[in-house]
Amino acid sequence: QLQLVESGGGLVQPGGSLRLSCSASGFTLDHYNIGWFRQAPGKEREGVSCISGSGARTNYADSVKGRFTIFRDNAEATVVLQMNSLKAEDTAVYYCTFMYSCGKMGAILYDVMDYWGKGTLVTVSS
């Protein structure tokens, strides 16, 4: 059974950084379109960022552009979401999953495959 595992969440102060990793059990994420999503308490899940299978294409939600970076860590066989300049509104449970394509990211979820993991909690607070 395909299963993705998110890790790297935690408590960080505003302005701080965290590095989230998405990995798979029993196989690598090479050649798969992967997206990061988040769900804040009381809100709908939203798209944060995605990367194409080749790594050549990336997209970001407007709310995280310039602060978050998605990339493939080939040595670790993971997809990383590097989050800098974190804000309180970034507080959420973050998930990764497969995507049919890496397109627009935001409130509407496009081309998302239903392989949600348990997520990793990011709390930005002083």
Q: Is there a contact between 40 and 98 (Cβ–Cβ < 8 Å)?
A: no
Residue with the two structure tokens 């930005």 = 124
State which residues of the chain have pLDDT below 70: none
Torsion of CA 24, 27, 33, 38, to 10 degrees: -10
Would you state the pLDDT for residue 78?
92
Q: Is 41 helix (H, G, I), strand (E, B) or coil?
A: coil
Would you state the pLDDT for residue 39?
98
- Residue 90 φ then ψ, to 5°: -85, -5
Would you state the pLDDT for residue 63?
97
